[in-house]
Structure 1
Amino acid sequence: MHHTSRRQFIRLAATAAALTTTSIKAFAADRTIKIGTLKLIHGITPYFYEKFAPAGVKIEVIPFETPTDGKNAVATGTVDFGIFGLAAATLGGANGEPVVVIAAACNRGMAVVASKASGITTIKELKGKKVAILPGSTQEVVILDRLAAEGMTVKDVEAIRLSFSDMAPALARGDIDAYVGAEPGPGISLANGVGVIVEYPYSTPTGSLNMVLATGRAQIEKDPELVKTLLKIHRQATEYAMKDLEAFVAVAMQKLGQQKPSIEQAAPNVELTWKIDDQFLKQANYYGSQMLAKKQIRQLPDYKTFIDPSFVQALAAT
C-alpha cells in the first residue's frame, strides 16, 4: 500500500512538474514586447511591427517626446527595445549605461528650416537669429558640425531649446526664425507655407545617420531569442513601410495626427533602415568623436560592446 502511494505521488509530482514547464513555455510564447519610439515620422517603424509579429507575440508601442526619455526607458528596462537618435544612445554608452545598439532604424529625417519671412537661405545667415535646437539630439551634433564648417559656433546664433513637436508651431507663431528639426516638423512648415528648407544637413561625415534600435544589455544576455525575433520583425516592418508609401503615409497620419500634405512633404526625407554595415560603424564612431570634442560626453563609449551588429549580420545572411 505504502509502496503504491509513493509511486503514485512520484507520478503526480512528475505530471505537476510537466504542467508547470508547459505553462511557463506557453507564457513565454504569449508575450508582450514593449517598444519605445519617438513621435516622429522616422520613428514610425514599430507601428508596423504588429503585422509581422509571430503568433502569441503582442507589440506595445510607447511613444516618447525626447530621445533622452527613450534612451532612459531602455537603460532602466521600462521598455524592452527603443528607437531614438544616435546622440542619446552614445550618451548612454559613454555614461556606462547598459544600452546596446543592435540595428539601424532610420537615415535622414532632419532639416534646417527657416521662416519665409526671415529671408534666411543659408547656414551662414542664421547668424544672430533665434534658432530652435533640441539638446541631446542627433540634430544638435549635426548643426554644430555644420556651423563649424561655416566658420561659426553655436554662440553665433541665439539657440532656443524646444522639443521637436514644438518647433513648427513656434516658427508659425513667429517666436523663432529657424529650427533644426525632425520630420514631420519640416514637412508641416513646408505644407503650411510658413517655412523654407535652408538645407537637409547630410554633408557632414555623419552623413544621414540618425536613429538606431537599442536594447538593454540584460536583454541580450537573458533572452537572445527575443532579440532575434524582434529584429526579424523590425526588418520586415522596415522593408514593408519603405515599399508601400500609401501605408507609410496612412500610419504616419494616424499615429502622429498630422495632415496628409505635411506627411507627403516629409516622407521623401525619411529612409527607414535596419542594417548595420561598415559605413554605419564608421559614421557612428565619427559621431562619438564629435560629441567628445564638443564636451557632450566625457569619454567615448566602448564601441566593442556599445554597438552589437552580430544579430543583424546573422539576419542579413538569411
Structure 2
Amino acid sequence: MTKTLTLLRRSVIRGLTAAALGIAAFGAVAHAEDKPEVLRIGTTAPGHLKFILARHNRAFEKEFAKDGIKVELVAFTNGGGEALTALATGAIEVTYTGNNPALRAAAKGADVKAVGLSSFTKNSSTTIIVLKDSPIKTLEDLKGKKVAYLPGTVRHSVFSKALKLANLTTDDVDSLNLDFAASGPALIRGDVDAIVESDSSTSKLIESGQARVLLDSNKYPEWSAPYIISVNGEYAGKYPDIIKRLLKVDIQLARWADANPEETIKIFVEETKTSEKSVRSTYEGGKFYQDPKITPEALAALKDEETFMKEAKLLKGAVNYDTWVDTSYLDKAYKEVDANQ
C-alpha cells in the first residue's frame, strides 16, 4: 500500500469516526428533548380538587421523579384569565381552570388545547353576598351599587346570568376588579356593597354572621358547565407522552376521590382552609364529578356557555372545537389505566 493510499484511508476512517460521533451526539440531544426538564401545572386559587389532592400526596411529583422531571405547582390568585395567559405564553404547561377563561383563550386562537375535564359538577358554586344588615334585598337593588368580582371568570358569567334575571347587566352596576383577599375586607368595611365569589371563599363570612347570601348559583344547575384541563399546544405536541402520563394521574386521582369521599373532603378542607360545611354542600352526598372524560353532554354545555358569553359580550371570536378539543392524550391514558386495573 502506498503512502498516499495509507494517508487517504486514515483520513476516511477519521471522517467516518467523526461522523459517527456526530450522529451519536445528535441522538443524545434528540433523546434529551424527548424529556422536558420541568412540568409546571397551574390552577385558579385556592385550587381545583384534583390539583389539591395531587399537591397533598405529591402525585405528579412521584410520577415524573423517575425521569428527573421537576414538577412545579402554581395557584393563580387573579383568576383563570391569569392562568390561561401564563399557559398561552409558555410560562406554564398545564392548567386547571373554569370554562370561561378556557373558552376565551380558545376563541382568541391561542395555542392551547382542552385535553380533559377538571370537573363537571351540577352547580357553579358561586354566591353573591352582601353585609348581613345591608339594605340590598333583591338583585334589582344592585343597580348602581359597587360590586366586586374578577372579570373573565366563571363568577363573572354567573353574575351576568343573575343580573339578567332582574333585567340588568353589568353596565348597571359599578364593577370593581378585586379578588376575595381584597373584596372580603372591602365588604366588611363598607367600601363595596356586594361581592361575587366562590361559595368556598364566602362561607366563612356567612357562617360568622357578617354577611348573607343574596344569590346562590347552586339553585340554578342549568348555569353549570365543565371546568377544563388545558395544555400549551406546542408543549403537548413536543411531549405527548408527558401529557398522557399526567392525565393518567388525573384519572387515578378522580377514582381515588370517589372511593375515599371522607378523606377527600378532609384533605380539601385542610389544604384550602375553607369551610367543611361549604365543601360538603358543593360535593353533596360525596359525589365529586371529577372524571376527566369529555362527554357529548360536556361539549354541549360548553357550547351553551360560549353562546351566553357572546350574548353578554364576555367573549370575542368563536371557538373551533375541532382544533381546541383534543381527546387523543386522554384516550391513551384511559387505555393504560384500565389495562392495569
Scaled by the length of structure 1, the TM-score of the pair is: 0.82
Q: State which of 264, 271, 277 in structure 2 corresponds to 1:265.
A: 277
Distance 2:255 2:185 in 1: 32
Deviations 1:26-61 (A, max 9, x none): 674574211121212436616616325243343211
After TM superposition, the structure 1 stretch with the greater mean CA deviation from structure 2, 241-250 or 287-296, is 241-250
Task: For 2:229 and 2:222, locate their aligned partners in 1 and report how far apart those are by CA, in whole Å.
Answer: 17
Would the aligned equivalents of 2:76 and 2:82 in 1 still touch at CA under 8 Å?
yes
CA distance in structure 1 between the partners assigned to 2:189 and 2:49 by the alignment: 26
Displacement of 1:159: 2.8
Task: For 2:170 and 2:230, locate their aligned partners in 1 and report how far apart those are by CA, in whole Å.
Answer: 29
Query: Which residue of structure 1 aligns with residue 233 of structure 2?
Result: 217
Matched letter for residue 159 of structure 2: I
CA distance in 1: counterparts of 2:244 and 2:303, whole angstroms: 25
User: Structure 2 unaligned runs (5+)?
Assistant: 1-5
Aligned to 1:308: 326
**Offset, 1:73:** 0.8
How much has 1:227 moved relative to structure 2?
1.6
Give 3-state SS (helix, strand or coil) of 1:184's partner: helix
Query: Pick from 282, 287, 291: which aligns with 2:300?
Result: 282
SS in 2 for 1:296: coil
Contact 1:34 1:81 (8 Å CA) reproduced:
yes
Alignment of 1:108-147 (within 5 A): 108-118=124-134, 120=136, 122-147=138-163
How far did 1:221 drift?
Answer: 2.4
TM-score, normalising length from structure 2? 0.77
Larger Rg: 2
1:169 to 185, 191, 195: 185
Q: Which amino acid aligns with 1:37?
A: T
Letter in 2 for 1:72: T
Aligned equivalents of 1:4, 1:167: Cα separation in 2:
78
Q: Does 1:187 align with 2:203?
A: yes
Structure 1: distance between partners of 2:173 and 2:184: 18
SS in 2 for 1:105: strand
Deviation at 1:144, TM superposition (A): 0.9
1:153 aligns with 2:166: no
SS in 2 for 1:33: strand
CA distance in 2, matches of 1:84, 1:29: 26
Distance in 2 (alpha carbons) for counterparts of 1:314 and 1:119: 55
Shift of 1:75: 0.6
Aligned counterpart, 1:51: 59
Aligned in 2, Cα 1:310/1:183: closer, same or farther, shift over 3 Å?
farther
Residue 35 of structure 1 is matched in structure 2 by 41
Identity, in percent, stands at 24
Q: State the distance in 2 between where 1:19 and 1:9 align.
A: 15
AA in 2 matched with 1:51: A
